[in-house]
A and B are shown apart, each in its own frame.
Chain A
Amino acid sequence: EVQVVESGGGLVQPGGSLRLSCEVSGFTFSDYWMSWVRQAPGKGLEWVASIKPDGSEEYYVDSVKGRFTISRDNAKKSLYLQMNSLRADDTAVYYCVGSSWDCWGQGTLVTVSS
């Protein structure tokens, strides 16, 4: 059975940092691109970042470039999102997505507010 479990969300002040984690089981993690997608309250889906299976390439939406870093540990079957200089408009549920975009976690809520 495939499981994708995110953690690390919470309330953070503007300008602060947070690190999201995602643990995967049930598919060969090291074979697949992994991604983060977010959804602001009441809004649609927004792709945030993706990373190649071996970690050698990363891609980001413009609004997070220079502030967010995606990384992975294939030995631990884990994906990460380091988020720095957080802003109010980063408030969203963050989903970890893997395999061929058919494996989604339940999401972790990040709230940026003073």
Chain B
Amino acid sequence: EIVLTQSPDTLSLSPGERATLSCRASQSVSSYLAWYQQRPGQAPRLLIYDASTRATGIPARFSGSGSGTDFTLTVSSLEPEDFAIYYCQQRSNWPLTFGGGTKVEIK
């Protein structure tokens, strides 16, 4: 099983600041990595797939990078609605796995 480790657990930032979230895989997942956002009480929403491709309707302030074992999700300038929990997911191998999540909270 591929283990995904997300860091940090919590990121405390102010609106307008840049957020940088990390996801590290226990073995290579090539570029088969996705990022999701989950707001309180809502279902997750796909942000990024194939490591760097934005899903339909996702604002350009969200970007993904990386390949192999190290990946990054960047939010260039945080909007109020971006304060949420973010999960990475690998789709390279069965079983599919998610990281433990990073909470982006208002400082």
Contact = CB atoms under 8 A, between A and B. Distances in A.
Contacts, number: 46
Interface in B10-54: 34, 36, 38, 42-46, 49
Given A100-B49, A104-B44, A104-B45, A62 B87 contact: no
Interface of A: 35, 37, 44-47, 50, 59-62, 95, 100-102, 104-107
Contact of B46 (A61, A62, A102): A102
A105 B42 CA distance: 10
Interface residues of B, number: 22
Contact of B98 (A44, A50, A102, A105): A44
Contacts of A37: 44
A47 B95 contact: yes
A44 B87 contact: yes
